[in-house]
Amino acid sequence: MRINSTVSDQQDSTLIAPVWHTIVLVSITCIFSALGAFRSYGHLDLLTRAGVPTSYVRVTRYLVSLAFEWLLVLLVWFGIRSGGLTLHALIAGRWPTLRVALRDTVIAGGFLFLNYIVIGILTYALRVPSSRGHSPFIQLLPHGWMELIIFSLVALSAGFCEELVFRGYLMRQLSAMTKSRTAGLLLQSVVFGLGHGYQGVARMAIIAVEGCMLGLLARWRRSLRPGMIAHGLQDMIAGIAMFAMTR
Q: Is 70 exceeded by the pLDDT of residue 1? A: no
Q: Where are the alpha helices (DSSP H) in the chain?
A: 2-12, 19-41, 46-49, 54-80, 87-91, 98-125, 136-139, 145-162, 171-178, 181-194, 201-221, 225-245
Nearest-CA neighbor of 92 among 217, 183, 209? 217
Q: Is 50 exceeded by the pLDDT of residue 44? A: no
Nearest-CA neighbor of 119 among 184, 199, 183, 229? 199
Cα(103)–Cα(204) distance, integer angstroms: 30
Q: Is 60 exceeded by the pLDDT of residue 144? A: yes
Average pLDDT rounded to a whole number, residues 21-47:
78
148 contacts 240 by C-beta, under 8 angstroms: yes
Q: Where are the alpha helices (DSSP H) in 43-85?
A: 46-49, 54-80
Q: Is 60 exceeded by the pLDDT of residue 130? A: no
From 126-130, 136-140, 174-178, 187-191, the region with the lowest mean pLDDT: 136-140
Q: Work out the pLDDT band at 134, boundaries 50, 70, 90.
A: very low
Cα(178)–Cα(169) distance, integer angstroms: 14
Average pLDDT rounded to a whole number, residues 128-132:
60
Q: What is the mean pLDDT of the chain?
A: 86
Q: What is residue 43's predicted lDDT score, i.e. its pLDDT?
A: 46
Backbone torsion region of residue 53, taken as left when φ is above 0, otherwise alpha when ψ lies between -120 and 50, otherwise beta = beta
User: Percent of the chain having pLDDT more than 90?
Assistant: 60
Average pLDDT rounded to a whole number, residues 182-195:
97
171 contacts 215 by C-beta, under 8 angstroms: yes
158 contacts 231 by C-beta, under 8 angstroms: yes
Q: Is 70 exceeded by the pLDDT of residue 230? A: yes
Q: Is 50 exceeded by the pLDDT of residue 2? A: no
Q: Is 80 exceeded by the pLDDT of residue 102? A: yes
165 contacts 72 by C-beta, under 8 angstroms: yes
Q: What is residue 145's predicted lDDT score, i.e. its pLDDT?
A: 86
Cα(181)–Cα(183) distance, integer angstroms: 5
Q: SS3 of 78, please?
A: helix
